[in-house]
Amino acid sequence: MLVEVKVQSLGLDRASNTPVLILQEVAGERVLPIWIGPGEASAIAMQLAEMKFSRPLTHDLLVAVLSGMGGNLDRVVITRVAESTYFAELVINRTGDLISVDARPSDSIAVALRTDARIFAQDDLLELATIEVTAEGEEPDSVQETETDEGKPPFTNAEELEAYLRRLNPEDFGRFSP
């Protein structure tokens, strides 16, 4: 089952200096943390801050290409996690035909924010993440030590990821600044 989510915050795993994107379900309190690369985190942070540039950045370029080819982003779906890597799909509407394109969640969300497209996640992914959302304005401190390779925390299976997420506290996340 798909659950609509929104970007709740962009944090920083201070132990590894890895950006963490926190998605929260629209009609609830569950969250989905996704460790992402710094480039994608900057693209998301700049869009959230409504920063504009004279020339298109990569995600802006993708939006322009989609539009130029007669398409638009219908929605983003975070589909699964395998070996600590999250997978997503861009669902593009082109003259009534839906085209699904495999993409990284971070890139997908950066594009979705630029097009006001809805973001969805599989319900079972939200079930894995049981941390609580930090109240607005609170500055969390640090997260347990992790390593990343383009958004990959050091987990080899879903059980390890679930155990790690159960140990996290809201105070474990810092704010990300581009």
Question: Which CATH number does the domain housing residue 44 bear?
Answer: 3.10.690.10
71-82 and 118-122 beta bridge pairing: parallel
From 91, 102, 76, 90, select the one nearest 23 (Cα to Cα). Answer: 76
Task: Give yes or no for a contact between 7 and 20, defined as CB atoms under 8 angstroms apart.
Answer: no
For residue 13, give both structure tokens.
């795993």
- Mean pLDDT, range 8-35, rounded to an integer: 89
The mean-pLDDT minimum among 37-46, 70-79, 162-171 falls in: 162-171
Q: In the prediction, which pLDDT does 53 show? A: 83
Residue 97 pLDDT class (50, 70, 90 cuts):
very high
Task: Give yes or no for a contact between 93 and 72, defined as CB atoms under 8 angstroms apart.
Answer: yes
Task: Give yes or no for a contact between 112 and 102, defined as CB atoms under 8 angstroms apart.
Answer: no
The residue range of the domain holding 147 is: 2-175
Distance from C-alpha of 137 to C-alpha of 71, rounded to nearest angstrom = 38
Domain total of the chain:
1
For residue 121, give both structure tokens.
């996640």
pTM, two decimals, is 0.74
Torsion of CA 105, 146, 19, 140, to 10 degrees: 130
